[in-house]
């Protein structure tokens, strides 16, 4: 699961990326593309770790990709093509950064500040890229239709119809996902990597002086986009600076600045949620750990997250919900209270399950 950070040049993508990953960047690579891991801040994890006096605490994570600076000659256009396009197509979600911060030493490609306008423009750029993908696919389908026997033409015609519908919808200024009606349709086009079928989150990179009016800015952008895309305001530069401090100093600064809740944490949590991920926990004196699975995952598959042997030799799962565990105080009391459940391999995991997998290999 990976999230691509995109947006117009100088909107603060790299700054936000550094803040989210706390500077722990696996940089470079062939295409000048930085990757980094953001930890999911989860109060439940810390409390479980405290209860069990765990030596180690391990968070769930989301992988972010920064967009490389644009090559010379792209001018105002975002230049999503080639390697960058391939990387973004492989992302499960996109975060669009839009600039609201004031900084005279940083040129703005439009000279004036208007975060809502910039998001709308960027979405149009993404739609434009998707139109290109659709055109290439439609032209291939056209060719193969000519060389296909009449009795085998039906699936090709069906795909053409769907792609034409998506294309028409993009022409109307909508996003590709708004033209898709069924899970079957979504599945059938997944391989094409249309950018506007992915979950999108907008990160408004606001000025420090706008912190108090952040919800107005969020609303304005939401209205300009006109669909239910999530908008989260963040002071990227400030968050990047805070992320370099030790936790005590960071807390003190946050309360002075009136930003107790980190915008980055809200963004990372929203990314996690939009990816359709939920968390289960394993806990004990050695380690308390949060594990990510897709919502709807069954117990035996979830066990495979920890180790393939546990999945293969799965016997059953002993599960206490986080709330029940906290209410009882500890695991043995929860057991006495009858709150520990035995679940089989087809049990659908729930967010907050505290699990002990029993297995035999
Ligand atoms: N004042 C201010 N400057 C920022 C903020 N975010 C980014 N910048 C500056 O804007 C410039 C471009 O930021 P960068 O993250 O490299 O943008 P990118 O091109 O989208 O990756 C850098 O000089 C940053 O220091 C912010 O929230 N406030
Ligand atoms: Mg950058």
Within-domain flag for 235: yes
Nearest to 222 by CA among 96, 38, 39: 96
Residue 296 half-sphere exposure toward CB, CA atoms < 13 A = 3
d(CA 314, CA 358): 6
For residues 184 and 227, membership in a common domain is answered with no
Within-domain flag for 245: yes
pLDDT of residue 75: 46
How buried is 30 (Cβ within 10 angstroms: 0-12 exposed, 13-18 middle, 19+ buried)? exposed
pLDDT of residue 29: 58
CB-ligand 1 contact for 12 (6 Å cutoff): yes
Measured in Å, residue 95 CA sits from the centre of ligand 2 at 13
Q: Three-state secondary structure along 231-242?
A: EEEECHHHHHHH
For residues 77 and 215, membership in a common domain is answered with yes
For residues 12 and 67, membership in a common domain is answered with yes
Residue-by-residue pLDDT tens, the chain, 361 positions = 899 999 988 899 999 999 999 877 776 555 567 899 999 989 999 999 999 999 999 999 999 999 887 655 444 456 788 888 888 999 999 999 999 998 888 887 787 889 999 999 999 989 999 999 999 999 999 998 888 888 888 888 989 999 999 999 999 988 898 889 999 999 888 888 999 999 999 999 999 888 888 899 999 999 998 877 899 999 999 999 998 889 899 889 888 887 777 888 899 989 999 999 999 999 999 999 999 999 999 999 999 999 999 999 999 999 999 999 999 988 889 889 899 999 999 999 999 999 999 999 8
* Of 7, 8, 10, best ligand 1 pocket probe by most atoms within 8 Å of the beta carbon: 10
d(CA 112, CA 223): 20
* Of 20, 67, 237, 239, best ligand 1 pocket probe by most atoms within 8 Å of the beta carbon: 237
d(CA 268, CA 24): 15
Measured in Å, residue 66 CA sits from the centre of ligand 2 at 7
d(CA 83, CA 89): 10
CB-ligand 1 contact for 13 (6 Å cutoff): yes
Angle, CA 208 vertex, CA 214 and CA 17 arms, to 5°: 85
Within-domain flag for 314: yes
Measured in Å, residue 107 CA sits from the centre of ligand 1 at 10
For residues 103 and 251, membership in a common domain is answered with yes
Dihedral, 48, 52, 53, 57 alpha carbons, nearest 10: -40
| Residue 352 DSSP class | T
Where a domain ends, among 193, 208, 237? 193
pLDDT of residue 254: 87
For residues 7 and 74, membership in a common domain is answered with yes
pLDDT of residue 78: 60
For residues 109 and 202, membership in a common domain is answered with yes
pLDDT of residue 71: 59
Range of the domain at 148: 123-193
């Amino acid at each position: 699961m990976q999230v691509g950070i995109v947006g117009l040049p100088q909107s603060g993508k790299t700054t936000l990326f550094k803040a989210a990953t706390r500077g722990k960047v696996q940089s470079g690579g062939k295409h000048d593309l930085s990757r980094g891991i953001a930890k999911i801040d989860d109060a439940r994890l810390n409390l479980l770790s405290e209860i069990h006096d765990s030596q180690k605490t391990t968070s769930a994570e989301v992988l972010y990709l920064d967009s490389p600076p644009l090559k010379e000659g792209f001018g105002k256009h975002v230049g999503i093509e080639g390697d960058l396009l391939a990387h973004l197509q492989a992302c499960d979600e996109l975060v669009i950064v839009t600039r609201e911060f004031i900084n005279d030493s940083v040129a703005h490609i439009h000279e004036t500040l208007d975060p809502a306008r910039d998001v709308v423009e960027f979405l149009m750029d993404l739609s434009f890229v998707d139109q290109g993908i659709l055109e290439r696919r439609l032209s291939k389908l056209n060719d193969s239709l000519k060389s296909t026997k009449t009795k085998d033409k039906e699936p090709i015609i069906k795909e053409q119809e769907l792609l034409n519908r998506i294309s028409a919808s993009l022409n109307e200024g909508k996003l590709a996902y708004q033209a898709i009606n069924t899970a079957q349709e979504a599945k059938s086009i997944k391989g094409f990597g249309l950018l506007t079928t992915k979950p999108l989150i907008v990160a408004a990179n606001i000025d420090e002086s706008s912190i108090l009016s952040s919800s107005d800015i969020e609303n304005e952008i939401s209205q300009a986009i006109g669909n239910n895309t999530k908008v989260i305001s963040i002071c990227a530069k400030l968050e990047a600076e805070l992320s370099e401090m030790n936790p005590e100093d960071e807390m003190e600064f946050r309360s002075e600045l009136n930003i107790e809740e980190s915008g980055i944490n809200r963004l990372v949590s929203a990314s996690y949620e939009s990816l359709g991920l939920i968390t289960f926990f394993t806990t004990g004196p050695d380690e308390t750990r949060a594990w990510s699975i897709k919502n709807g995952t069954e117990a035996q598959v979830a066990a495979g997250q920890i180790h393939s042997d546990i999945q293969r030799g799965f016997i059953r799962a002993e599960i206490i919900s986080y709330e029940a565990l906290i209410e009882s105080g500890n695991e043995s009391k929860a057991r006495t209270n009858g709150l520990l459940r035995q679940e089989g391999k087809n049990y659908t995991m729930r967010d907050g399950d505290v699990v002990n997998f029993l297995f035999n290999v």
